[in-house]
């Protein structure tokens, strides 16, 4: 990071100088990892991320920059950038998705063709959700839904672990086999969206049922 | 050390700022004093300002306690629960309109207008009257210090239009809004739970007209909201209404529907139901007593069990929101360390019991649930005035933000429970050659179709340089600021031209309209202030003279003749002087009358009468 233009100290965040409190204005394309002072990678330490969010928020939050309009606008913008980056980094899907794009891999519109067998499975999940919708508590369709939920959760964990292995150690961008690995990651991510959608449907259904 | 230097640059000394709870039923101000938040209570009165406005036949509107007292005598000219109309259109408030005693319509941007005594008032203007009254009370409690900076609270589940309306109301009232803060978040600050170390807390806030549940984590003094859910149309009013509806049903059987729907009677019924509910929080049974429009009397004893059965569906609805918030936070009830109760309606024993059962722990109720939001707002006002850097609030946006797509579906661009400030950028292009404008509809809500969400307004992008279809790359940036308010800006990226955005607000005032209202209120400011003071004093004198007459009737014979004559003379004088429009004259008359009644007051053993004579109203006793 460049030295702080105000005091010359080496800033500990690209968004603000912790030495003099001045707000900085990093380039618009600064990636989420860089905003948190991290190297891009598929896994993050959640505890460390939260700590850094708190530390940098205390530097950039508009609560502490209210007196001057220009400064307040920059505080608003820097806080928003920090929070946006945090949302990306803390979420397994969003983090991997961003990493694939950052490394020049295919975006979510690509690699959407799913194997026939997988699509059949998705149809079965949907049916299981629908059958459980009006079923009584403790009935077989409800028990089947609970089992499905556990199964999908386990598969999600496994997919994420596979993603991390696939994306670990990238960059450098001249890594041999990089395009293939990114394509594989995108396929996994697209399959993950189906899993996540069904898991969200199950969550919604459970909230509805609890309210009855 | 560096921070100290910065603070010196920014603030020479901490300026006083108010924390204002602008409630559906009651409003209140607090400030930071002597190292802690304090409710601002003037020596000669109450801190709480009922959120009611009364319009007398001549003269200026009466706000607060005076308005509430007039409502019984003149229900047709008193407005309550104005907060329910903030940022809403007519179609949203059909149920609430039943309790509005005057004509109502909507302006071209979908802002409700109340027609009363030949004038029209928007909810923003009415809320501004309440805010001014709260400010006035607060300034009196501060020995006349003129404080114009404030943190104002809103329900966490308020959408952009409702927040904007609150902000506009404050502007019309001439207040500088330091921040719009969510009520449950403010309440968590008031409890100072950061002193107890790190943990997760649930704030259950059932107010007069709104319900919020917020789940927060506290780590190293940072209050981070993890999720919030709620209902901006569910509150203590609904519990009153459940009781009132039951009573009305029984009364209608007796006197018919038409008589039971008499507006004045409805108002009386509403107040009786509220009173009955309050009694039932303290005792197992309470009587509702009403004078019927046909002159008859109606008495009915409600038991607490009956009331709880009527209230149960409403309480269950709040628990639905609790489940939703926990699911969004990814937490189970066993992962919540503390539960905090906020809002007057949490005094209802059934509410406390159900919340305790749901979370499996005894909730905090140490602070007055009516004051805790204002106290928390005062803590935040202290932070924003540069008073401390130990506390930081990180709140969320309660509803997802999206754009209507070609097929009428919603493309979400900011998800609910995103930490604010937050931003999102969306790319647009042109579909015709040399097209210079694009129009889009911004919606807020969780539903999949735009028609089922709330439109925040149509945004018209203009000034795109002429180029072939599909070539323009317009980046539209959505920013939700620390107040939870949306701003939209745009830039054509291939040429770097800033495009301008024209906004037609939905259910909101335009800047020009706010300016006009602000100017009007400035022009009348001193006028208004004096007339309002006169109106308030007159109301107070009315109560005092009434009590004095009653006192004379009951114990007057025990006074010596001279004292009695002095008192009768004082009565005549104060009633004459009260007709003056000069606030000073009326104030002097009131004070003189108060002194003249002292011998009578000391005679009267009845504490009710004594309180009334020293200038307090009967219903406070």
Instruction: Say if residue B438's pLDDT is above 70.
Output: yes
Q: What is the pLDDT of residue B21?
A: 96
Q: What is the pLDDT of residue A146?
A: 92
Q: What is the mean pLDDT of chain A?
A: 89
- Interface membership of B384 toward A (CB under 8 Å): yes
Residues 157-186 of A with CB under 8 A from B: none
Residue B490: CA atoms inside 13 Å, Cβ hemisphere, count? 24
A68-109 pLDDT per residue, tens: 888 899 999 999 999 999 999 999 999 999 999 998 888 888
Query: What average pLDDT does this structure show over B145-165?
Result: 92
B36-85 pLDDT per residue, tens: 999 999 887 889 999 999 998 877 889 998 888 888 778 788 998 899 99
Q: Considering the candidates B159, B160, B205, B577, report the single residue annotated as catalytic.
A: B205
CB-count exposure of residue B491 (10 Å: 0-12, 13-18, 19+): middle
Per-residue pLDDT band at B5 (split at 50, 70, 90): very low
Residue B550 annotated as catalytic: no
DSSP state of B79: E
Backbone angles phi, psi at B184, to 5 degrees: -65, -35
* B482 neighbourhood in chain A, CB within 8 Å: 61-63, 76, 79
- Residue spans in chain B of domains classed CATH 1.20.1270.10: 525-620
Task: Give the separation between CA A101 and CA A157, rounded to whole angstroms.
Answer: 22
Which overall architecture, per CATH, does domain A1-90 show? Orthogonal Bundle (1.10)
- Interface membership of B479 toward A (CB under 8 Å): yes
Q: Mutate which of B422, B477, B489 to disrupt the A interface (most A C-beta within 10 Å)?
A: B422
Q: Mutate which of A28, A30, A64, A207 to disrupt the B interface (most B C-beta within 10 Å)?
A: A64
SS3 category, B336: coil
B303-351 pLDDT per residue, tens: 999 999 999 999 999 999 999 999 999 999 999 999 999 998 999 999 9
* A83 neighbourhood in chain B, CB within 8 Å: 418-422
Residue B158 near residue B84, CB atoms below 8 Å: no
**Alpha helix stretches (DSSP H) within B19-151:** 65-73, 94-97, 123-141
- Interface membership of B432 toward A (CB under 8 Å): no
Task: Give the separation between CA B461 and CA B470, rounded to whole angstroms.
Answer: 15
Report the topology of domain B14-234+320-394.
Nucleotidyltransferase; domain 5 (3.30.420)
Taking an 8 Å cut-off on Cβ atoms, the answer to whether B6 and A80 are in contact is no
Report the topology of domain B236-310.
Actin; Chain A, domain 4 (3.90.640)
Residue B483 near residue B433, CB atoms below 8 Å: no
Q: What is the pLDDT of residue B614?
A: 57
Q: What is the pLDDT of residue A188?
A: 92
Q: What is the pLDDT of residue B303?
A: 94
Q: Output the CATH code of domain B399-512.
A: 2.60.34.10
Q: Which residues of B8-36 are buried (b: 16+ CB within 10 A; e: fewer)?
A: eeeeeeeebbbbbbbbbbbbbbbbbeeee
Q: What is the pLDDT of residue A173?
A: 58
Q: What is the pLDDT of residue B554?
A: 78
Classify the C-alpha dihedral B161-B164-B168-B170 as positive or negative: positive
Instruction: Say if residue B149's pLDDT is above 60.
Output: yes
Residues 6 or more apart whose Cβ sits within 8 Å of residue B173: B127, B128, B129, B131, B132, B135, B521
* A57 neighbourhood in chain B, CB within 8 Å: 222, 392, 394
Task: Give the separation between CA B241 and CA B542, rounded to whole angstroms.
Answer: 31
- Interface membership of A80 toward B (CB under 8 Å): yes
Task: Give the separation between CA A109 and CA A136, rounded to whole angstroms.
Answer: 40
Residues 6 or more apart whose Cβ sits within 8 Å of residue B611: B618, B620, B621
Instruction: Say if residue B295's pLDDT is above 70.
Output: yes
Residues 6 or more apart whose Cβ sits within 8 Å of residue B339: B201, B202, B203, B204, B355, B356, B359, B361, B362, B363, B364
Q: Which candidate, A86, A94, A29, places its Cα nearest to that of A56?
A: A86
Query: Cβ of B309: how many Cβ atoms within 10 Å?
Result: 13
Query: What average pLDDT does this structure show over B442-458?
Result: 87
Per-residue pLDDT band at B447 (split at 50, 70, 90): confident
Per-residue pLDDT band at B417 (split at 50, 70, 90): very high
A20-24, A90-94, B23-27, B335-339: segment of lowest average pLDDT: A20-24
- Residue spans in chain B of domains classed CATH 3.30.420.40: 14-234+320-394
Residue B40: CA atoms inside 13 Å, Cβ hemisphere, count? 31
Task: Give the separation between CA B486 and CA A147, rounded to whole angstroms.
Answer: 42
Q: Both tokens of residue B245?
A: 């509806």
A158-186 pLDDT per residue, tens: 999 999 888 887 665 566 778 888 999 99
* A77 neighbourhood in chain B, CB within 8 Å: 421, 423, 479
Name the residue among B178, B220, B420 with its Cβ closest to that of A54.
Answer: B220
Torsion of Cα atoms, B9 then B12 then B14 then B16, to 10°: -120
Taking an 8 Å cut-off on Cβ atoms, the answer to whether A76 and B222 are in contact is no
Taking an 8 Å cut-off on Cβ atoms, the answer to whether B482 and A211 are in contact is no
Q: Considering the candidates B159, B168, B183, B577, report the single residue annotated as catalytic.
A: B183
CB-count exposure of residue B581 (10 Å: 0-12, 13-18, 19+): exposed
The single residue listed with the structure tokens 């948190």 is: A36
Q: What is the pLDDT of residue B492?
A: 81
Query: What average pLDDT does this structure show over B243-272?
Result: 86
Torsion of Cα atoms, A117 then A118 then A121 then A125, to 10°: -170
Q: What is the pLDDT of residue A15?
A: 92
Residue B420 vs residues A21, A73, B12, B414: alpha-carbon distances, Å: 21, 14, 29, 10
B525-620 to CATH, choices 1.50.10.10, 3.40.630.10, 3.40.50.150, 1.20.1270.10: 1.20.1270.10
Instruction: Say if residue B528's pLDDT is above 50.
Output: yes
Task: Give the separation between CA B339 and CA B352, rounded to whole angstroms.
Answer: 11
Q: Which candidate, A139, A45, A60, A188, places its Cα nearest to that of B394?
A: A60
- Interface membership of B532 toward A (CB under 8 Å): no
Taking an 8 Å cut-off on Cβ atoms, the answer to whether B394 and A57 are in contact is yes
Query: B317 to chain A: nearest residue by CA?
Result: A211
Taking an 8 Å cut-off on Cβ atoms, the answer to whether B392 and A57 are in contact is yes
Per-residue pLDDT band at B613 (split at 50, 70, 90): low
- Interface membership of A63 toward B (CB under 8 Å): yes
ipTM: 0.91
Higher local confidence (pLDDT), B161 or B428? B161
Residue B581 vs residues B61, B144, B527, B541, B593: alpha-carbon distances, Å: 14, 22, 10, 14, 18
Q: What residue ranges in B405-540 does DSSP mark as E strands?
A: 410-414, 418-419, 422-428, 438-444, 454-462, 474-480, 486-492, 498-505
Return the bridge partners of B78, or none: B54
Residue B83 annotated as catalytic: yes
Task: Give the separation between CA B493 and CA B474, rounded to whole angstroms.
Answer: 6
Instruction: Say if residue A152's pLDDT is above 70.
Output: yes
- Residue spans in chain B of domains classed CATH 2.60.34.10: 399-512
B204-224 pLDDT per residue, tens: 999 888 899 999 999 999 999
Taking an 8 Å cut-off on Cβ atoms, the answer to whether B482 and A79 are in contact is yes
Residue B258: which H helix or E strand, with range? helix B257-260
Per-residue pLDDT band at B567 (split at 50, 70, 90): confident
Taking an 8 Å cut-off on Cβ atoms, the answer to whether A61 and B482 are in contact is yes
Please give the interface size between A and B, counted as residue pairs whose CB atoms are below 8 Å apart.
Answer: 77
Q: What is the pLDDT of residue B209?
A: 85
Torsion of Cα atoms, A196 then A197 then A200 then A202, to 10°: -110
Residue A75 vs residues A64, A81, B258, B385: alpha-carbon distances, Å: 8, 10, 59, 16
Q: What is the pLDDT of residue B13?
A: 45
| Chain A nearest C-alpha distance from B420 (Å) | 7
Three-state SS string across B439-476, please?
EEEEEECCCCEHHHCEEEEEEEEECCCCCCCCCCCEEE
Q: What is the mean pLDDT of chain B?
A: 86
Q: What is the pLDDT of residue B500?
A: 67
Percent of chain A with pLDDT over 70: 97
Percent of chain B with pLDDT over 90: 42
Q: Which of B7-21, B264-278, B514-528 has the highest mean pLDDT?
A: B264-278
């Amino acid at each position: 990071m460049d030295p702080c233009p105000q005091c010359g100290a080496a800033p500990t965040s690209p968004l603000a100088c912790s030495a003099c409190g001045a707000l900085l204005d990093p380039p618009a394309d600064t990636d989420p990892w860089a905003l948190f002072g991290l190297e891009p990678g598929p896994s993050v330490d959640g505890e460390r991320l939260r700590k850094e969010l708190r530390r940098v928020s205390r530097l950039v939050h508009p609560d502490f920059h209210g007196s001057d309009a220009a400064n307040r606008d920059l505080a608003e913008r820097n806080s928003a950038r920090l929070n946006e980056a945090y949302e990306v980094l803390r979420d397994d899907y969003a983090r991997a998705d961003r990493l694939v794009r950052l490394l020049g891999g295919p975006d979510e519109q690509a690699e959407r063709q799913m194997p026939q067998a997988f699509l059949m499975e998705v149809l079965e999940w949907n049916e299981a959700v629908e059958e459980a919708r009006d079923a009584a508590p403790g009935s077989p369709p409800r028990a089947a839904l609970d089992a499905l939920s556990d199964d999908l959760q386990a598969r999600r964990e496994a997919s994420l672990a596979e993603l991390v292995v696939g994306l670990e150690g990238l960059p450098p961008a001249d890594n041999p086999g990089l395009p293939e690995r990114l394509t594989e990651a995108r396929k996994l991510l697209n399959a993950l969206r189906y899993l996540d959608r069904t898991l969200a449907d199950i969550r919604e259904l459970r909230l509805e049922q609890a309210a009855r | 050390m560096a921070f100290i230097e910065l603070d010196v640059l920014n603030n020479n000394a901490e300026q006083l700022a108010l924390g204002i709870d602008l409630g559906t039923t009651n409003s209140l101000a607090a400030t930071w004093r002597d190292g802690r938040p304090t409710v601002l209570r003037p020596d000669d009165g109450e801190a709480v300002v009922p959120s009611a406005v009364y319009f007398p036949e001549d003269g200026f509107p009466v706000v607060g306690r005076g308005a509430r007292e007039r409502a019984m005598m003149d229900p047709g000219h008193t407005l309550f629960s104005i907060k329910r109309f903030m940022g809403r259109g007519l179609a949203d408030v059909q149920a609430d309109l039943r309790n509005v005693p005057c004509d109502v319509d909507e302006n071209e941007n979908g802002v409700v207008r109340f027609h009363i005594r030949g004038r029209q008032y928007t909810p923003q203007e009415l809320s501004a009257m309440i805010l001014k009254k709260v400010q006035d009370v607060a300034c009196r409690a501060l020995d006349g210090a003129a404080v114009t900076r404030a943190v104002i609270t809103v329900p966490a589940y308020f959408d952009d239009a409702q927040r904007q309306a609150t902000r506009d109301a404050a502007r019309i009232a001439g207040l500088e809004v330091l921040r719009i803060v969510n009520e449950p978040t403010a309440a968590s600050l008031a409890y100072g739970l950061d002193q107890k170390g790190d943990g997760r807390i649930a704030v259950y806030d059932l107010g007069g007209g709104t319900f919020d549940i917020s789940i927060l984590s506290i780590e190293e003094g940072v209050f981070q909201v993890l999720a919030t859910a709620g209902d901006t149309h569910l509150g203590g009013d609904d519990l009153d209404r459940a009781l009132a509806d039951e009573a009305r049903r029984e009364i209608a059987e007796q006197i018919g529907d038409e008589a039971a729907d008499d507006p004045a009677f409805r108002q009386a019924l509403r107040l009786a139901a509220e009173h009955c509910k309050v009694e039932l929080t303290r005792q197992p049974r309470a009587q509702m007593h009403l004078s019927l429009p046909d002159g008859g009397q109606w008495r009915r004893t409600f038991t607490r069990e009956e009331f709880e059965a009527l209230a149960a569906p409403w309480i269950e609805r709040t628990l639905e929101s609790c489940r939703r918030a926990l699911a969004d936070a990814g937490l189970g009830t066993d992962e919540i360390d503390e539960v905090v109760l906020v809002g007057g309606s949490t005094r209802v024993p059934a509410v406390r019991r159900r919340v305790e059962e749901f979370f499996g722990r005894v909730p905090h109720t140490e602070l007055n649930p009516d004051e805790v939001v204002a106290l928390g707002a005062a803590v935040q006002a202290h932070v924003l005035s540069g008073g401390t850097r130990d506390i930081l609030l990180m709140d969320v946006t309660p509803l997802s933000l999206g754009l209507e797509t070609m097929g009428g579906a919603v493309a979400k661009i900011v998800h609910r429970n995103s930490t604010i400030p937050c931003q999102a950028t969306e790319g647009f292009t042109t579909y015709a050659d040399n097209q210079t404008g694009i129009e889009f509809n911004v919606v807020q809500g969780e539903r999949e179709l735009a028609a089922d969400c709330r439109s925040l307004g149509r945004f018209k992008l203009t000034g795109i340089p002429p180029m072939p279809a599909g070539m323009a790359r317009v980046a539209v940036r959505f920013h939700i600021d620390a107040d939870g308010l949306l701003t939209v800006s745009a830039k054509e990226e291939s040429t770097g031209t800033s495009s301008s955005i024209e906004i037609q607000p939905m259910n909101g005032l335009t800047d020009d309209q706010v300016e006009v209202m602000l100017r009007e209120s400035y022009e009348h400011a001193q006028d208004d202030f004096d007339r309002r003071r006169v109106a308030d004093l007159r109301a107070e004198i009315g109560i005092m003279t009434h009590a004095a007459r009653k006192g004379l009737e009951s114990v007057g014979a025990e006074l010596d003749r001279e004292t009695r004559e002095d008192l009768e003379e004082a009565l005549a004088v104060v009633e004459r002087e009260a007709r003056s429009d000069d606030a000073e004259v009326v104030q002097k008359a009131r004070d003189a009358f108060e002194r003249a009644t002292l011998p009578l007051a000391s005679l009267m053993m009845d504490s009710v009468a004594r309180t009334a004579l020293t200038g307090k109203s009967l219903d406070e006793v």
